[in-house]
Amino acid sequence: MKKALRKLTLYSILLVITVSCVTTGRKQITFIESTDIHGVVLPYDYIEKEELKASLASAYTYVKKLREEKETVILLDAGDNLQGQPSVYYYNFADTTSPHLLAEAMNYMSYDAVTVGNHDIETGHSVYDRLIKEYRFPLLAANAIDIKTGDTYFKPYCIIKKNGLKIAVLGLVTPTIHNTLPEDLYRGIEFRNMYETASKWMPVIKKENPDLIIGLFHTGWEDNDSDTNYGEGASEIAYNIPGFDIIFTGHDHRVANQKIVNNSGDTVLILNAGSRSMNIARADVVLQRNRKTGSNNKSFSGEIVKLSDFQPDNEFVEKFAVNHEKVKEYVDEVIGSSSETISSRDSYFGSSGFVDMIHTLQLEITDADISFAAPLSFDVQIKEGPVTVGDMFKLYRFENMLYTISMTGDEVLKYLEYSYSGWYNTIDDPNDHLLKFRTDKSGKLALTDGKAWLKNQAYNFDSAAGIDYTVDVSKPEGSRINIIGFSDGRNFDLKQSYNVAVNSYRGNGGGGHFYEGVGLGKSDLISRIIKSTDRDLRYYMIGSIRKMGIIDPAALNNWKVIPEKMVKNAAERDYILLFGEAGK
């Protein structure tokens, strides 16, 4: 009897172990996403010349910690890394023979996959083609097609195998590159609809039988561009193309951590780490595999991790110390001097020395009649005294070319009406806001630490130089601008054609000023381009300031907002909402 009981007990234990093994093959995996790093590799701001609390060096501290604690860690990035800080500009264009800092850093951190971003494409073939060879991980973009071969220019997706798991990662990049960048920068590449591309590749990826399917998209979560029918937003893909477990996004610099249920009833986790190495996004996945059926039960959790809470990794900083010194020497070079301090803060309320310095240089470089420009940096200043190469990254943030475009006077008027309609409210009450701010679902101002956010991007707030005009915000949108004449005394004629200086982002349709505002089609706009610089505008600005030696960046005062008394009160209130202090 005792022998029989012992056999029964042993049988029961074996049965429990067998059932457990069949039903509970449990594995954990942690994903980390960075995105829109914009050159913030080391813990130093080469533009403001100060230490940073967050960078890839801090991200590496966190990643190393996770790799010690977790079974499996996969490190991904959603693009836009090659533009923004002089640290990458230097290796893009100044030192093109040394290994690129970004490639060296991301290889050192052992990234598993990266999707190309629009600002990575903006550096041109010579840069991103070089980095494809230097990266020790795949650069993805399934919707970037080689026109000659019909194949994808970058890898469409990759399969990552770790700890017995098989993870598929599909890369997509915003196709509006066609509307924002000169064709020479992506010659031979066509950027196709994201939704159609994801629909095409999902069945292909599923045939690989991956345990998880990840979207790594350089686009915003809700950025649907119905006017151009490009299907730019990730939301449409997540809802309507079943198969994705997690979608990492970027591009819009907005932090996201949410779950949605797609049209098949499956949960999809959406994460966006924001920008400039301030955060990274983390996804933890638990797979409960039934070994008998081969199916997986999946559970997901998402987290946005602030990198300012982590110290830079000492070994990382030490490894790239020589790179750091080279870039510092580059940005510290004095190219001239400024007679006064200028701030981009003034640019939102009228003619300002900051934007007018851009205008003045654009008119000088092109000899155009009119210049259009915007404050490309939301909140920076260039101080009185020596002007360095680094200061030019404050003045001009992006690697845009400079176009000269033919426009009629009537088109100039429509352009300005469109620009200011995205900028200013119509004021009919002393308590109205002048600026258009972001609001929540209830219509109240969306505040962060007591500060408001502009509804539209600062780089779309174009003003003009070369002409004198007023903006009457007591009138409805579309009928506010009164062009008085040219600043040199010439008459302004709505029917006459003029040469206009404008950056390549705008000149290729970015912001909608030429499309929605003026009413030009893409082919019409291209035909208006008279000439283009062959290098980025910042390069020519540096040359112009070297030549001048001393610059006087005073406001041109060629335009103003009226009625002045009401505008003055509204502007003072809005200034405090934007910057947390009264203007000087």
pTM of the predicted structure, to 2 decimals: 0.83
The answer to whether 135 and 79 are in contact (CB under 8 A) is no
CB atoms within 10 A of CB 337: 14
Is 294 in a helix, a strand, or coil?
coil
> Does CATH number 1.10.3720.10 belong to domain 26-326?
no
pLDDT of residue 377: 86
Which residue, 161, 152, 280, 151, is CA-closest to 209?
161
pLDDT of residue 12: 42
CATH topology assigned to domain 333-579: 5'-nucleotidase;  domain 2 (3.90.780)
Is 143 in a helix, a strand, or coil?
coil
The answer to whether 350 and 559 are in contact (CB under 8 A) is yes
DSSP secondary structure code for residue 42 in this structure: S
Which residue, 314, 302, 228, 224, is CA-closest to 259?
302
Which residue, 264, 258, 267, is CA-closest to 298?
267
Is 215 in a helix, a strand, or coil?
strand
Output the CA–CA distances (angstroms, integers) from residue 460 to 180, 243, 513, in the order listed: 12, 37, 9
519 CB-contact burial (10 Å; exposed 0-12 / middle 13-18 / buried 19+): exposed
The answer to whether 379 and 352 are in contact (CB under 8 A) is no
Ranges of residues in the chain whose predicted pLDDT is under 70 = 1-24, 223-232, 291-294, 582-584
Longest dimension (CA), the chain: 116
pLDDT of residue 440: 87
Per the document, the length of the chain is 584
Output the CA–CA distances (angstroms, integers) from residue 90 to 108, 256, 334, 505, in the order listed: 20, 31, 16, 21
Which residue, 308, 274, 573, is CA-closest to 431?
573
pLDDT of residue 296: 74
The answer to whether 327 and 429 are in contact (CB under 8 A) is no
Residues 53, 57, 60, 61, CA torsion sign: negative
Rounded (10°) CA dihedral 177, 183, 188, 194: 10
Output the CA–CA distances (angstroms, integers) from residue 69 to 21, 72, 138, 146, 367, in the order listed: 24, 9, 26, 42, 61
User: Which residue spans within 393-450 are E strands per DSSP?
Assistant: 402-408, 447-448
pLDDT of residue 46: 95
Query: Omega before 563 cis (within 30°)?
Result: yes
Say how far apart CA 32 and CA 160 lie, in whole Å.
Answer: 14
φ, ψ (nearest 5 deg) of residue 144? -100, 110
DSSP secondary structure code for residue 77 in this structure: E
Say how far apart CA 366 and CA 403 lie, in whole Å.
Answer: 8
- CATH 3.90.780.10 domain range(s) in the chain: 333-579
Angle between helix axes 321-331 and 101-108 (nearest 10 degrees) is 150
Measured distance between the N- and C-terminal CA atoms of the chain, rounded to whole angstroms: 97
- CATH 3.60.21.10 domain range(s) in the chain: 26-326
360 CB-contact burial (10 Å; exposed 0-12 / middle 13-18 / buried 19+): buried
φ, ψ (nearest 5 deg) of residue 491? -75, 145
3-state helix, strand, coil in the chain (%, to 5): 35, 25, 40
Which residue, 383, 377, 276, 393, is CA-closest to 327?
393
Tokens, residue 467: 């002409």
Which residues fall within 8 angstroms of residue 287, CB to CB, at 6 or more apart?
25, 26, 27, 28, 29, 165, 211, 212, 296, 297, 298
Say how far apart CA 540 and CA 535 lie, in whole Å.
Answer: 8
Query: How is 504-515 classified by DSSP, letter by letter?
Result: HHHHTTGGGIII
Which residue, 242, 141, 237, is CA-closest to 196?
237
pLDDT of residue 230: 42
Say how far apart CA 451 and CA 198 lie, in whole Å.
Answer: 38
Is 412 in a helix, a strand, or coil?
helix
Say how far apart CA 327 and CA 398 lie, in whole Å.
Answer: 18
